[in-house]
Each structure stands twice: as structure tokens, then as C-alpha cells.
Amino acid sequence: MRQGPSSLARPYPRWHGLVILAVFLGFASFSAFAQNGLRYIHQERSLYRNILVTEDSQRRCLRFTITSTIGQNQSCQYLDRPEEFVFPYARMTLSSLLVQDNPERILIVGLGGGTLSAAYSTLFPNAEIVISEIDDAVFRVARDYFDFQETEQVKVLVGDARVHVKRAGLRGEKFDLVILDAFNGEYIPEHLMTAEFLEEVKALLPENGMVVANTFSTSRLYAAESNTYREVFGEFYNIRMSGTGNRVIVASRQALPDQQTLEDRAPALRERLARFGMNILEFPKLLSTEVTWDTSQRILTDQYSPANLLNN
């Protein structure tokens, strides 16, 4: 629309430039996706983050973003073979079955596209799986775009995992396996990284219970996170694979099996896990208790959890 002299002379509101920048960045992100053969399937702004679903000729992905326009993939699914894992971290997570198999009650913190819950439901159809997801929009997107379904055995609790864990502990609930896989678009929520939270998680574990945490191998908080888990659980397995920025921590209330035991257990799992695109025989050597971090770094607590370091 053509504007008259009076409207052109009127100063723009202060937010006008931000709107123009947002539009520009939006077009830029669309262009970037188009150049890579990606297209938007869905996008929305939830209470906690921007949620994007993208698709190309091979896979559909869920992305979370807070400050960037494109964000990082949180969960992906191959279109022609949805059971097969796209990301190494999911394979690393399932390799924890070498430590403890056949869990009857499982708590998963963070739903994403439902990749892990689907795998554990397939492997252990009689297990009770409780998923704590803070964002109702993520729950809806997982259901509408990634075939996630609640069942009699698989239930979602929408709300803060810190609250859910605390209340479960007060009720005396126990979970054989707790998987920590929460991500807000930039990092793990800081209140889910502290020693106090991990102590609350530990209280949910029976004598042979296990916690598996998906975190990062290149973070500036790598040493602090490691020292925090070691403070709460003692020795743990630190699983890392070349070519990925993820690492998976496996800690247990019972003594960790030695390398030979891990290798002896792997063949029995090979056929069961092959459907997810993984060869479990490759993983025993990756489950390492070697300390590869600065042990002098301060542990993370509710009073000291400097997530701001990640942005410096």
C-alpha cells in the first residue's frame, strides 16, 4: 500500500525494527531449508520454545530453538524405516542394556519425538513407562507427526520433571531405569543437572536400578557434569562415539560389570537390537570408566549451576 507524507513522517515504533529482523531471519531460515531440500511440516511457539518439524526425502525431524531461527534436531525418524535410530545417542542409550536388562518400570525425562519410549516399549512390552515432558506442545507434536501413542503401559505426565521426580520420591515409587533426555533448545535445563536433583533421581532407584543420561561431550560444563554424577553415583560409564557431540552417562546403584562381562552379554542382545540399526557387539569397548575430565571442577548444585557459561 502506498503511504502519504504524514505516515512517512511518523516515527516507527521501537519494536518495528525487531519485526523486520524477525521476518528477515524467517525468510533466511526458509531459504536455508530450501537449499538443503528441507521443508517445514509444522511450526509453533510454545510456552517454552519454538518447535519446528521439518522433512526431506529421507527423514522427518523435530527441532527446538530458543534464540536461533533453525535450531538443532532433537529427534528424527526415517520415513521408510521408522524403528531404525537416526542418532548415535539413541544407540548409546540402548547399549546400557549391557549393564541392566529387563526393566519393569521406566521413567523417561523428556519426550522429544518419542524415539526412546517407542524402542523400550517394543523391547519390553510389559514394562510400565512413564514419560515426564514439560511442554504439552511437544506431546501433541510427537503424537501428530511422529506416531507417538499413549497406551495402558506408556503414559505421559505433562509438567516439570523436577516436580515429578520429587513427588514420586515422596510417594516411595521405584523405577528400575531412569533416562534423562531433557533438552530446552540450547542445553539441558540447569535444574535437571544438579547434585540435589540427581540425589532425588537416585532415591527412585532400587538396589539394581540404573540412570542413563544423554548429555554432551564438548560442553564447557563437561567436567562439572562429570564430577556431579561421580559425587552422587560414584564410578560410572562414560560412553562416547567419534563423530557425535553427545555422550551418554550410565550410572547404577550396583557395582558396574567389568569389560569381560559386558562382552559376554552382548551376543544375547544382538538380534533384539538389530532392528534399531545397531550392532551391540561394537559397544562393550565404548563403556569406559576412565576419568577424562578435570576432577577439580566444582560440582553443580541448586545454588551453583552456571548454564550461562555455555553462551560465553
Catalytic residue positions? 181
Q: List the beta bridge partners of residue 133.
A: 158
Q: Please report which residue ranges of the chain form alpha helices under DSSP H.
A: 5-9, 16-35, 88-94, 115-123, 136-145, 161-170, 195-202, 222-233, 259-274
Whose cell is 518400570? That residue is 105
SS3 helix, strand, coil % of the chain, rounded to 5? 35, 20, 40
Nearest to 47 by CA among 131, 132, 136, 114: 136
Distance from C-alpha of 49 to C-alpha of 210, rounded to nearest angstrom: 30
Of residues 96, 95, 85, 176, the one with CA closest to residue 130? 176
Q: How far apart are CA 186 and CA 149, in angstroms?
A: 27
Rounded-to-integer distance, Cα 162 and Cα 139, Å:
18
Number of residues in the chain? 312
Residues 53 and 18: their CA atoms lie apart, in Å, by 24
What are the CA-CA distances from residue 201 to residues 198, 229, 260 (Å)?
5, 11, 29
CB-count burial class (<10 Å; 0-12, 13-18, 19+) for 145: middle
